[in-house]
Structure 1
């Protein structure tokens, strides 16, 4: 996930600057992340990557069709696919489903955040509790700790 990778990079830079003194670097102050600027730069980076993908698809004469789709049938060596109210037939079809995070199904679960909510934060939290032991939860715990949050 590109937004999370950008957050990891910021976290790595914060960690590196904190440990720099131990390796002989003279640093007067602890680094401070300008969260609003970081979010702006992260979003611009994501848009550049998406633009790069779209450009590459165009160069390769690949049509990107976004929406809810379903496989209809195979007609010989061709496959039929419906996306929204459009129907397509092709010899090769790539279905890239993506994923959506699921909210905690427990009392108070609506008070928590999923990864999409984390990417929309307008400031780095000072304290955050991470619920879950999957790799995404562990990665976010590491990112927020490196960025100065108490996890």
Structure 2
């Protein structure tokens, strides 16, 4: 072998010696990447499982919201006739209250002028009973003069 061949082999050997630390560093980096890849796959599986559970929870939530909406619609439909009845009764009550107030106002001057009876008249009397009581009280008043 010639000196040139020996020189080239020494240079090649030096280059190979210099490449060994780089190869070791590369091998360590590849080992870390493989380890991180396993952790990443595990976390990806966990993420997939969490996403699946979230989707299932959303389906259950949507179903319960639809059920609640239907129940509210049914109760609202049941309450509407009651609301209409109450509105009608309130209107009638207001008109009756207005009539009663007018009658009370009109009756106050007559109540102040009329003599008071010893016994209070029953609350529920027919028109004939009221007329009879008025005639009796007028007759008694004339007889007393």
User: What TM-score bracket applies, with the shorter chain setting the length?
Assistant: under 0.3
TM-score normalised by L of structure 2: 0.21
Specify which structure has the higher proportion of strand. 1
Specify which structure has the higher proportion of helix. 2
Q: Kindly indicate whether structure 1 or structure 2 has the higher relative contact order, using CA contacts under 8 Å at least 6 residues apart.
A: 1
TM-score normalised by L of structure 1: 0.20
